[in-house]
Amino acid sequence: MEAKVPLEVHIMSKCPDARDCLRDLVVPAMANISDKVDFKLSYIGKTTEEDDGVKCMHGQTECLGNIIELCAATSYPSPKIHLGFTLCLSRRYPEIPSQELVEDCALEHGIDFDVLNECMSRENGAYGMGLLRDSVMRSAELGVKTSCTVRLGGKVRCVRDGGEWRDCEGGEEPEDLVRDIKRKVDEEKGWTY
């Protein structure tokens, strides 16, 4: 069993930078190296004492969108499924959390809408809110505040912010990320460059 390199992407569901980051970098790279990474989507927001404990930058509809995407990732752990679904939603992010959009993307990616719905409504919504709170706390503990932040092997690899790439040492093209992931896998095996 080969060691996998942690690849974590921190996003907000209703963020154009998240859409660009998933569409232009993460999804094309994952098409080549999904077997080599331990992939995780995490969400950015603020934990609060009221409002069920989380406040989202683009409002309550974004919190719902984040929960829908977390429910997909929890119910369908394969990134091939839940990452594609998340990208599908992000392409029409202003419409999140429209039921029609969610149903269309679920259908397109082999996700059962009823499974998502069950996750969303479990414990009167407390389960999904708990997923979101845990995810937001994780991003905060890691000091990640910008959607979209890509972390590879525990370090920031690239940030998409305000329509621009930054902090992308090694490049912001999918092939750059693929190369870095392959190198990390080799380093895990004890190879040096």
Q: What is the pLDDT of residues 86-135, one digit of tens each?
A: 999 999 999 999 999 999 999 999 999 999 999 999 999 999 999 999 99
Least confidently predicted of 35-39, 67-71, 159-163, 189-193: 189-193
Here the tokens at position 154 are 């525990």
**What is the mean predicted confidence (pLDDT) over 60-67?**
97
CATH class of segment(s) 5-188: alpha beta
Model confidence pLDDT, tens digit, residues 143-170: 999 999 999 999 999 999 999 999 999 9
With 0.85 as the threshold, say if the pTM is over it. Answer: yes
Burial (CB < 10 A; 0-12, 13-18, 19+), residue 193, is exposed
Please state, in angstroms and rounded to a whole number, the distance separating the CA atoms of residues 73 and 163: 26
Residue-level pLDDT at 193: 67
DSSP state of 172: S
Domain residue ranges in the chain: 5-188
